[in-house]
Amino acid sequence: MEEAANQMSPAVRESKTAYDNIRERFGDAISEFDANPTMPFFEVLDASRWVDIALYMRDNSLLQFNYLACLSGVDYPEEQKVGIVCNFECIGKYTHRIAVKVKCQRDGGSIPSVSCVWHTANWHEREAYDMYGMVFEGHPDLRRILCPEDWTGYPLRKDYQVQETYHGIKVPY
Amino acid sequence: MQELGKVESNSTRIIRQDDKRVTIEKDLDTEHMVLSMGPQHPSTHGVLRLECITDGEVVVEAEPYLGYLHRCFEKHCEKIDYPAIVPYTDRMDYLAGMNSELAYCITVEKLLDIEIPRRVEFIRVIVSELNRIASHLVAIGTYAIDLGAFTPFLFCFRDREHIMNLLEWISGARMLYNYIWIGGLAYDVPADFKKRVDEFVTYFRPKAVELYKLLTENEIFVKRTYDIGIMPADVAINYGWSGPMLRGSGVKWDLRRNDPYSIYPELDFEVPVPDGKFSVVGDCLSRHLVRALEMEESLRIIEQCLAKMPEEPNFNSRALIPKKIRPKAGEVYGRAENPRGELGYYIVSDGKSTSPIRCKARSSCFVNLSAMKDLSKGQLIPDLVAIIGSIDIVLGEVDR
């Protein structure tokens, strides 16, 4: 175990320290730490605690993840799930970064919204909803953002079939 | 007594009295009006629609509507090979194609874990800093035009033309370069490249000072931007702002310094942040000021790169490009400092396919624009134009 910790690059070790802090507070609600060198992450297993975890990550004086760099929707067809990947970092006191994954059921699944924690999440969650169709509970304004509001289907899902016509216009070209 | 109509609850009513006189009730309220700005509006810099609810001259709320330029970049990426995505990245932020390519290429290189020749790194930094100056010149020129000053626009485009010619000479294209490739470059630079870039730096330095005097210190311009659209630093961070927008709010945050990539750690440059003497920290003028000062820093970076760049005769810039790009299974989030802020790519590879199974572009303007609703509350309509201009959006990148 210790040997593995020694092989980590300094950046991954920083993420691991941050992860240990969150793990101590939330225990089994989050998964084991994935210490890959390109994007170390952990997964939130109990999605209902996602907002609590988010608030803790932002407000804890040892973490201070005040900057949500990116929030991307992802499709996991083999698990029958869709999810989001958030990349966090701290502007100011610390230099640590970490990524967090949250998943939900593919059909009718929902993830709690963190747009009240980071304003960045507002539009990014709208985009994820637009492209993947997961619902963000508690989002103040969950509408499509890039596609027209009467578009059908969620374009970035792997099994997406484009509609034949849109307002009488042929869509596939 | 018959009521003929009413507007908004009970405040304004038109009433027909019993003796057929028509009277209007006295305690009138001003009505809110919906004003649609765009999608075809010169000051929205592309096809952005702002639905403004106005109370006389004051904007109560402005809601941006996007997607007019949505071209499914991310869906296309899942169908094409890694190197074939590079031209698509040009078309996102078409004013800073080199920077977009650089951000994408360093992300894939991080996933591939490959070494890049030193000469390639220097050329990459030179072309992307040249492109940064060109992009800032457009930002400053069009900002001036939004606020009614036409001359600076012509000055900016005259100087930008030199950069466009240089980049065309290197890559063969004026805006959509496809020059920086994964693992290398499309071509090595021409023989007297150093000389001509050096000439440009000597030419441009006094012009930048001239532009500063002409526009940034211009009283009318300052009056239009001073103390308008203030964004405090903590809110800016919460909104995920980056680049000149975040630095305009007084946060010294530049990915070239704070998450260094390529050869930036070896270079000596300042990160300009407004000190509050000339502008109010976080207002439109601060954001403009950061862009104006950054051009000088880019010139310094270019000079240092020209001096340090290793000379290698018969250099093959494609020598180390992998034959088949198929990264091992994994995911990566890589980013670079674009003229507009942090451009990030989240790429997932399954280790089998030659195209990514997920490629998300984190666009800086998209995130910067999301604060529009907050920024516009209670501003005058002409100030709204000043605020949009100071965000410096490129709709190609917002809508992807």
Domains and CATH numbers, chain B: 1-31 (no CATH), 73-374+381-399 (1.10.645.10)
CB spacing of A156 vs B70 below 8 angstroms: no
The angle at the Cα of A48, spanning A47 to A52, to the nearest 5 degrees, equals 100
Chain B residues with beta carbon closer than 8 angstroms to that of A66: 234, 237-238
Chain A residues with beta carbon closer than 8 angstroms to that of B74: 131, 156
> How many other CB atoms are there within 10 angstroms of residue A153's CB atom?
12
Q: Three-class SS of residue B15?
A: strand
Q: From B340, B219, B239, B226, select the one nearest B283 (Cα to Cα).
A: B226
CB spacing of B360 vs A70 below 8 angstroms: yes
pLDDT at B352: 86
CB spacing of B240 vs A66 below 8 angstroms: no
Q: Which long-range contacts (CB under 8 A, 24 or more apart) does B148-154 make?
A: B148/B224, B149/B215, B149/B218, B149/B220, B149/B221, B151/B214, B152/B211, B152/B214, B152/B215
Please answer whether residues B189 and B98 qualify as being in contact, where contact means their C-beta atoms are separated by less than 8 angstroms.
Answer: no
pLDDT at A36: 83
pLDDT at B257: 86
Task: Name which of A85, A120, A146 is nearest B367 (Cβ-Cβ).
Answer: A120
Question: Which residues, at least 6 apart from B377, have a Cβ–Cβ distance to it below 8 Å?
Answer: B59, B60, B61
Q: In angstroms, rounded to a whole number, what is the distance separating the alpha carbons of residues B56 and B372? A: 20
Q: In angstroms, rounded to a whole number, what is the distance separating the alpha carbons of residues B356 and B81? A: 8
CB spacing of B66 vs A145 below 8 angstroms: yes
Q: In angstroms, rounded to a whole number, what is the distance separating the alpha carbons of residues B301 and B237? A: 27
pLDDT in tens, A76-95: 888 888 999 999 988 888 88
Q: In angstroms, rounded to a whole number, what is the distance separating the alpha carbons of residues B97 and B108? A: 17
Reading the block at residue B63, the tokens are: 């809601």
pLDDT at B393: 86
Q: In angstroms, rounded to a whole number, what is the distance separating the alpha carbons of residues A42 and B394? A: 34
CB spacing of A72 vs B335 below 8 angstroms: no
CB spacing of A91 vs B344 below 8 angstroms: no
pLDDT at B2: 61
Total beta-carbon pairs less than 8 A apart between chain A and chain B: 82
- Residue in A123, A131, A163 to test binding to B, most B beta-carbons within 10 Å: A123
> How many other CB atoms are there within 10 angstroms of residue B277's CB atom?
6
pLDDT at B57: 85
Q: Three-class SS of residue A166?
A: strand
Nearest CA in chain A to B234: A66
Q: Inform me whether the pLDDT recorded for A43 exceeds 70.
A: yes
CB spacing of A69 vs B110 below 8 angstroms: no
CB spacing of B75 vs A99 below 8 angstroms: no
Q: Assign residue B314 a region (left: φ > 0; alpha: ψ between -120 and 50; beta: otherwise).
A: left
Prediction pTM value: 0.87
Residue B371 burial class via C-beta count within 10 angstroms: exposed 0-12, middle 13-18, buried 19 and up: buried
Task: Name which of A38, A99, A156 is nearest B110 (Cβ-Cβ).
Answer: A38
- In the stretch 8-47 of chain B, residues with CB closer than 8 A to chain A read none
Per-residue pLDDT for chain B (400 aa), expressed as one digit of tens each?
Answer: 566 665 555 556 677 777 777 776 666 666 788 888 878 776 667 788 888 888 888 888 888 888 888 888 888 888 898 889 999 998 888 888 899 999 999 999 888 888 888 888 999 999 999 999 999 999 999 999 888 888 999 999 999 999 999 999 988 888 888 899 888 888 888 888 889 999 999 999 999 999 888 888 888 889 888 888 888 998 999 998 998 999 999 898 888 888 888 888 888 888 999 888 888 888 899 999 999 999 999 999 999 999 988 888 778 877 778 788 888 888 899 889 999 889 999 999 888 888 898 899 998 989 998 888 888 888 888 888 888 888 888 888 888 8
pLDDT at B140: 92
Cis bond before residue A155 (omega within 30° of 0)? no
CB spacing of B67 vs A120 below 8 angstroms: no
Q: Which residues pair with B36 in a beta bridge?
A: B51
Please tell me the distance in Å from A120's CA to the nearest CA on chain B.
5
pLDDT at B377: 86
CB spacing of A70 vs B371 below 8 angstroms: no
pLDDT at B154: 92
Chain B residues with beta carbon closer than 8 angstroms to that of A38: 110-111, 330-333
pLDDT at A1: 47
Q: In angstroms, rounded to a whole number, what is the distance separating the alpha carbons of residues B339 and B341? A: 6
Please tell me the distance in Å from A145's CA to the nearest CA on chain B.
6
Q: In angstroms, rounded to a whole number, what is the distance separating the alpha carbons of residues A2 and B131? A: 46
Does B375 reach chain A within 8 Å, measured CB to CB? no
Q: In angstroms, rounded to a whole number, what is the distance separating the alpha carbons of residues B348 and A109? A: 22
Please answer whether residues A70 and B333 qualify as being in contact, where contact means their C-beta atoms are separated by less than 8 angstroms.
Answer: yes
Q: Domains (ranges, CATH) in chain A?
A: 2-170 (3.30.460.80)
Q: What is the dihedral of CA B120, B123, B129, B134, to 10 degrees?
A: -120
Please answer whether residues A1 and A33 qualify as being in contact, where contact means their C-beta atoms are separated by less than 8 angstroms.
Answer: no
Chain A residues with beta carbon closer than 8 angstroms to that of B331: 36, 38-39, 85
